[in-house]
């Protein structure tokens, strides 16, 4: 996530230079052909492009909107994870109550295991979500968060749990299964009443929902039929522009058509970069920062003080 107010033009060029070069060369070519070699039929009245532009602007508006919706939904889901992580920690601490005094240390130990396993769940979900799909590859060099490995989780799990976890098809779901089994144990030993058992299980269902909603956004691209056509239409539009401008604008065709084409390109690209919030890149929902916030909150609630330190990859960027 970018937090500084201005983007760097260098960064923008990094993503757009190929298209800009095409716009420039085309405009120069059309201008030379029309004005210097007098190829008159290269010109086309401006009105021709207007209706296309309006339709395209509306379509890009639709796309921007839905790209933002996806991103914001991703952020909301992780907001829920923040909220319920705090609630889970409090509930584990206050609702698991030893029936006899002698059980107190065992209860404490179980609580600790469940609270730390939840930190593991949060980090595991982050790592799980940021694994790249081959089909999302764009051959673009990206800024990314390097610390994204399951080994980050090892410290929060028992060793055998970590080994089992590591080989699962769906590792985060496995951790929720373990939490459920520990709840059953606590219930059987009388540390949870029937009712409090179900209450804590309800909170686990929230985590199921949070995980599943994140997976939905991760695994379902914005329908390709929409993004493909928006890309194609921006290209066609940019290709028509210099022909529409050349007879009226002369030399000014070159800067003006490049600028206008850039506007439409930017609208398209901004959507394209925002629509997938879990790709481990610049515009991501900041999963690493959020995970560390959760870790800090949970440790503070539990009474530990070895808070993790957030690292900054680059100025004005939070990953």
Site for a copy of itself in 124-153 (CB under 8 A): 133, 135-136, 138
Q: Are 85 and 294 in contact (CB under 8 A)?
A: yes
CA distances from residue 282 to 7, 150, 159, 265 in whole angstroms, order as listed: 11, 21, 34, 19
Q: For residue 96, give the 3-state DSSP assignment.
A: coil
Question: Interface with a copy of itself includes 297 (CB under 8 A)?
Answer: yes
Q: Of 301, 304, 310, 313, which lies in the binding site for a copy of itself, with binding defined by CB under 8 A? A: 301
* Choice between 154 and 301, CB closer to a copy of itself: 301
Altogether, the residues listed in the chain come to a count of 319
**Per-position x/- string for 24-43, each x denoting binding to a copy of itself as judged by CB under 8 A, each - no binding:** -----------------x--
Separation CA 305–CA 14 (nearest Å): 42
User: In whole angstroms, how close is the CB of 68 to a copy of itself at the nearest point?
Assistant: 6
Report, in angstroms and rounded to the nearest whole number, the Rg of the chain calculated over CA atoms: 27
* Choice between 24 and 57, CB closer to a copy of itself: 57
Q: Copy the structure tokens of residue 281.
A: 């890149």
Question: Interface with a copy of itself includes 205 (CB under 8 A)?
Answer: yes
Select from 81-89, 107-115, 143-151, 152-160 the region that touches a copy of itself (CB under 8 A). 81-89
Q: Of 10, 38, 51, 306, which lies in the binding site for a copy of itself, with binding defined by CB under 8 A? A: 51
Residue carrying the six token digits 């033009």: 9
Quickly list H helices, 140-286. Answer: 159-166, 171-188, 194-219, 224-249, 253-274
**Per-position x/- string for 107-126, each x denoting binding to a copy of itself as judged by CB under 8 A, each - no binding:** --------------------
Q: Are 175 and 165 in contact (CB under 8 A)?
A: yes
Residues 196-219, buried b or exposed e (16+ Cβ, 10 A)?
bbeebeebbebbeebbebbbebbe
Separation CA 116–CA 136 (nearest Å): 33
Q: Of 151, 208, 311, 314, which lies in the binding site for a copy of itself, with binding defined by CB under 8 A? A: 208
* Choice between 106 and 307, CB closer to a copy of itself: 307
Q: Of 19, 111, 148, 227, which lies in the binding site for a copy of itself, with binding defined by CB under 8 A? A: 227
* Choice between 148 and 179, CB closer to a copy of itself: 179
| Residues between 163 and 202 that touch a copy of itself (CB under 8 A) | 168-170, 173-174, 176-177, 180-181, 183-184, 187-188, 193-199, 201
Question: Interface with a copy of itself includes 87 (CB under 8 A)?
Answer: yes
Q: Shortest CA distance to 96 belongs to which of 220, 200, 191?
A: 191
Question: Interface with a copy of itself includes 274 (CB under 8 A)?
Answer: yes
Separation CA 304–CA 290 (nearest Å): 19
User: In whole angstroms, how close is the CB of 25 to a copy of itself at the nearest point?
Assistant: 21
Question: Interface with a copy of itself includes 13 (CB under 8 A)?
Answer: no
Cross-strand partners of 36: none
Q: Are 34 and 316 in contact (CB under 8 A)?
A: no
Q: For residue 34, give the 3-state DSSP assignment.
A: helix
User: In whole angstroms, how close is the CB of 270 to a copy of itself at the nearest point?
Assistant: 5
User: In whole angstroms, how close is the CB of 123 to a copy of itself at the nearest point?
Assistant: 18
Q: Of 13, 39, 90, 147, which lies in the binding site for a copy of itself, with binding defined by CB under 8 A? A: 90
Q: Of 25, 39, 155, 252, which lies in the binding site for a copy of itself, with binding defined by CB under 8 A? A: 252
* Choice between 6 and 38, CB closer to a copy of itself: 6
Q: Of 35, 103, 142, 215, which lies in the binding site for a copy of itself, with binding defined by CB under 8 A? A: 215
Phi, psi dihedral angles at 317 (to 5 degrees): -120, 135
Of the chain, the end-to-end C-alpha distance in Å amounts to 6
């Amino acid at each position: 996530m970018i937090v500084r107010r201005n983007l760097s033009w260098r960064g923008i060029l990094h993503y757009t230079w190929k298209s800009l070069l095409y716009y420039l060369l085309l405009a120069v070519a059309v201008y030379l052909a029309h004005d210097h070699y007098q190829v008159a039929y290269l010109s086309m009245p401006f009105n021709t492009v207007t209706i296309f532009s309006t339709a395209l602007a509306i379509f890009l508006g639709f796309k921007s909107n839905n790209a933002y919706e996806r991103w914001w939904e991703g952020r909301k889901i992780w907001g829920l994870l923040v909220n319920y992580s705090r609630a889970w920690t409090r509930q584990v601490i206050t609702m698991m109550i030893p029936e006899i005094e002698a059980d107190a240390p065992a209860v404490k130990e179980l609580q600790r295991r469940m609270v730390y396993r939840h930190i593991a769940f949060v980090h595991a979900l982050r790592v799980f979500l940021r694994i790249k799909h081959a089909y999302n590859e764009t051959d673009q060099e990206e800024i990314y968060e390097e610390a994204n490995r399951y080994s980050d989780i090892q410290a929060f799990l028992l060793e055998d749990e970590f080994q089992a976890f590591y080989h699962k098809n769906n590792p985060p779901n496995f951790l929720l299964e373990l939490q459920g089994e520990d709840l059953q144990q606590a219930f059987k030993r009388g540390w949870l009443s029937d009712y409090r058992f179900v209450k804590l299980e309800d909170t686990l269902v929230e985590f199921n929902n949070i995980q599943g909603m994140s997976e939905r956004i991760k695994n379902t691209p914005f329908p390709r039929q929409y993004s493909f056509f928006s890309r194609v239409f921006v290209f066609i539009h940019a290709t028509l522009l210099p022909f529409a401008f050349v007879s009226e604008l002369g030399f000014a065709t070159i800067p003006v058509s490049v600028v206008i084409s850039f506007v439409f390109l930017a609208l398209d690209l901004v959507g394209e970069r925002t629509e997938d919030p879990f790709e481990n890149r610049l515009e991501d929902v900041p999963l690493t920062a959020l995970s560390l916030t959760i870790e800090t909150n949970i440790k503070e609630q539990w009474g530990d003080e070895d808070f993790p330190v957030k690292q900054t990859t680059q100025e004005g960027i939070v990953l």
